[in-house]
Chain A
């Protein structure tokens, strides 16, 4: 039973560049959420995708955007990268789009901005 997979595992970018991170949900799951985890902090909710639409969004600027594909996989795009965007980006999957379903996480993409 495949868990949540994310790619790439590490990425180094410079300020002003753009980045795309990818996520495949756990087998049988149809909902994908993205989180940003700064060093020494808990994950912060970015947004959630269900039925190929952004259903909820946290307090992140429009530079952060996403997409969900018909096979339920998802991408997170970040434009005009800032030094403060350096963090671990986590993808979590769940079932049915509801807040009552437990979320299962991948191991994340570690993004470093120089």
Chain B
């Protein structure tokens, strides 16, 4: 079993839809959880950074962490074509940063 599992998609939604992206993990030592957005031919851009369980909101983005289920989510409200990118979950604890494979998202105008 991989440490971090993420459905690679692709995921295609109409403009204005609510997008839900998810990752599961197996290492209970993970404490810090991140979501990165990566456009084609660019490096990952940090979107959300959370510690332990709970919710964090930043504009149209909401990150949720459920440590009891080893499950994290990123919600994007009112999705825009400019949100089309690959979204990577990442987490760390006693280990260095471990990434999921990324989910490719397309928002269609």
Contact = CB atoms under 8 A, between A and B. Distances in A.
Interface in B2-24: 4, 6, 8
Contacts of A102: 34, 46, 49
Residue from B49, B97, B98, B100 whose CB has the most chain A CB atoms within 10 Å = B97
Interface in B50-65: 51
A58 B96 contact: yes
A48 interface: yes
B92 A99 contact: yes
Contacts, number: 57
Contacts of A44: 99
Nearest to A94: B97
Given A42-B88, A99-B92, A107 B99 contact: no
B65 to A, nearest CB: 15
A33 interface: yes
Interface in A65-107: 90, 92, 99-100, 102-107
Interface in B28-61: 31-32, 34, 36, 41-46, 49, 51
Nearest to B89: A42
B43 A42 contact: no
Say whether chain A's binding surface is mostly helix, strand, loop, or mixed.
loop
Give chain A's interface residue range (CB within 8 Å of chain B): 20 to 34
A33 B43 contact: no
A90 B51 contact: no
A107 B46 contact: no
A77 B42 CA distance: 21
Nearest to B49: A102
A4 interface: yes
Nearest to B93: A99
A43 B44 contact: yes
Nearest to A47: B96
A45 B34 contact: no
B101 interface: yes
Interface string B71-82: 000000000000
Residue from A41, A42, A58, A106 whose CB has the most chain B CB atoms within 10 Å = A42
